[in-house]
Chains A and B, each alone.
Chain A
């Protein structure tokens, strides 16, 4: 049983809860892969996806997770600009609660927004990414794909390369992987490593090779073009030359290492197309893991709600 009505991040949940979600997700994934897409677990429940940022993957994944589990499901899109004007998040939350919503999956450009919503409403809030804070379901799906490969997370080395500074994915992975006994190494231009990341338990590598050395999983993170215009690095070609992951770099990784990426990928920037489409890539499998993790989270939160009704 989970210990909270919400899934806000991996910072504040236990290794046992993570294991429970991953175990449940594994069952879900097998069921989905065998063609079962209709469950009654969330029958009569309502899921709202409330997205203040553009998203295709995460949103459709939440949406289908809800539908496959039998929930009634609607989407609300709010542009980022409407965060500043118009209805406050608290008022939107209260409105959704009054519409008898059970679950809200929220994505928001500002860190802490899901926590604010969770405090305001009795609905279960699932964080679909908030600012530079956390993206727990993404990290859980990464962990699921990696765990499936190696049977465990304990003792593994995970190398993360890319825009660490602005990445909620790197943060949630760091919190989650550490709790599960894995080591996290990161490498990026100095301007894209956030202050104190080592104090949070990450190893900051001094070279690509050191970062990837002996790694079981190598994760690329998307480099957003606006970071270049913001002066954080000079050009994409310079980025890929010094920080991109290619076959040469992968030679330093463990022989059985896999390549993961939260997507969407900039082909030839974070990872070479050859790696993206190659045998070691789990990027497509991760999408299925994502669906399974979100189904598992909804199922487990629903059980929590029933137990605490």
Chain B
């Protein structure tokens, strides 16, 4: 079967061109000004729309196995394709923890059943994420894990972290570091600063993140292995990464829309949808993150999609779960606040959301080219819409972006050339 996407503005690695895209057997076989449609082609009209490479969100929580009340692989996958995301990497803090080949294989099997977006499991660094003994990293790699991570709970013991990075490098796996000095955080739930004092909510200092960013970079540098820093939220963390890149350390880093759009001014009404880890910080952080995205210090935009059920959030701020449901809004938010506002262009945005994540984890896709995989999304950049989480396909309705007016509605998403989402 052949599929023809006609008349769309196609976002290439460099530049945007009005091109037709012919797809066969899941691959892009032809990119040309005009491709003549045969009667047996499935034709998708993309006139007035923009075709982007499928988003690769390398930091999500699908919650399955164990926390299906918050999300499961099916609902998370539906949400992903509704957000133009064709490929995700899911974090290991499930129950049981993804610290062995069985859980990796389970996730892969569920992906086959659900068959929407591609799902790449990430293994835990240590057994049970307890920071003590290395998990079965080799067996997980063999089963299909694409990286290891301590997401959600830093490995506080630097020796164990070093061993994890070193051992995983033998299987070509990178460590995705959740940087949080747990002792220094000391139960903090928001950024430490004026607004933590204003609300009396316990603050978590930037230093708690920065120390661990510096530690993990230092470990990787001394070992000569590549390393990836998760969800950077501080201006000072951006500086640490920039300096490391400058001296040649193989470090990549990611941030999330909430860190370059929001500041901790949103916490002052105790709205638990604003509770996230690391916390949203201050204007100077937000600006530094944008600068980091612009100058290449930060390589990837991810969501840290963290769906939660109503009961996890409709409680006192201190008791509420950390995290935001973000996978359905990341493109529109990023497009609106980075491209529409004139900070970067759409090519640069798609590098951050697609090409660089693919390169960082050695995944397929990430660009639209002849011979490439047909993981694509068709988006409408012209018409504004209002974010309404009651329409989310994710079980997690927990977003601080409700009511935000954005551009970049996802009209359709194709994975391996098959339409997996199409706007109602």
Contact = CB atoms under 8 A, between A and B. Distances in A.
A195 B200 contact: no
Contacts of B319: 83-84, 110
B200 A132 contact: yes
A83 to B, nearest CB: 7
Contact of A88 (B195, B203, B315): B315
B196 A89 contact: no
B383 interface: no
A168 B202 CA distance: 12
Interface stretch (A111-119, A208-216, A263-271, A285-293): A111-119
B200 A111 contact: yes
A197 interface: yes
A199 interface: yes
Contacts of B311: 88
Interface string A116-147: 10000000000000111110000000000000
Nearest to A135: B200
Contacts of B193: 195-196
A171 interface: yes
Nearest to B311: A88
Interface string B191-209: 0111111111111000000
Contact of A83 (B192, B199, B202, B316): B316
Interface centre among B195, B270, B314 (most CB of A within 10 A): B270
Interface in B310-328: 311, 314-319
A90 interface: yes
Interface in B139-164: none
Nearest to A117: B316
A1 interface: no
A249 to B, nearest CB: 26
Nearest to A171: B200
B316 A112 contact: yes
B278 to A, nearest CB: 16
B198 A89 contact: no
Contacts of B200: 111, 130-134, 168, 171
Interface centre among B192, B201, B316 (most CB of A within 10 A): B316
A90 to B, nearest CB: 6
B113 interface: no
A83 B201 CA distance: 17
Contact of B316 (A11, A108, A196, A199): A108
A223 to B, nearest CB: 18
A159 B195 CA distance: 23
B269 interface: yes
B315 A89 contact: yes
Interface in A77-98: 83-84, 88-90
B199 A112 contact: yes
A84 B320 CA distance: 11
A90 B200 CA distance: 21
B316 to A, nearest CB: 4
Q: How large is the interface on A (under 10, 10 to 19, 20 to 34, 35 or more residues)?
A: 20 to 34
Nearest to B267: A112
Where chain B touches its partner, the secondary structure class is loop
A70 B316 CA distance: 32
Given A195-B196, A199-B194, A132 B202 contact: yes
Contacts of B316: 83, 89, 108, 110, 112-113, 116
Interface string A172-215: 00000000000000000000001111011000000000000000
A195 B203 contact: yes
Interface in B289-332: 311, 314-319
B56 to A, nearest CB: 37
Interface in B257-311: 269-270, 311
Nearest to A108: B316
B367 to A, nearest CB: 44
Nearest to B317: A112
Contacts of A132: 200-202
A115 B317 CA distance: 10
Interface centre among A112, A115, A130, A199 (most CB of B within 10 A): A112
Given A83-B319, A110-B318, A131-B318, A116 B197 contact: no
Nearest to A196: B194
A111 B317 contact: yes
Contacts of B269: 115
B197 A196 contact: yes
B194 A195 contact: yes
A88 B319 CA distance: 10
Contacts of B197: 171, 194-197, 199-200
Nearest to B318: A110
B44 to A, nearest CB: 46
A68 B363 CA distance: 73
Contact of B314 (A90, A112, A133, A200): A90
Contacts of A131: 200-201, 318
B315 A111 contact: no
A196 B193 CA distance: 5
A88 B311 CA distance: 9
A250 B316 CA distance: 41
Contacts of A199: 194, 197
A14 B299 CA distance: 47
Interface string B174-218: 000000000000000000111111111111000000000000000
Given A113-B316, A196-B195, 19 more contacts: A90-B314, A90-B315, A110-B318, A111-B200, A111-B201, A112-B201, A112-B316, A116-B270, A116-B315, A130-B200, A131-B201, A132-B201, A133-B199, A168-B200, A171-B197, A195-B203, A196-B193, A200-B197, A200-B198
**Would you list the 4 A-B pairs with minimal beta carbon distance, nearest first?**
A112-B270, A132-B200, A196-B194, A133-B200
21 contacts: A83-B319, A84-B319, A90-B314, A108-B316, A111-B199, A111-B200, A111-B201, A111-B270, A113-B316, A116-B270, A116-B315, A131-B200, A132-B201, A133-B199, A194-B196, A195-B196, A195-B203, A196-B193, A197-B197, A200-B194, A200-B198
Interface of B: 192-203, 269-270, 311, 314-319
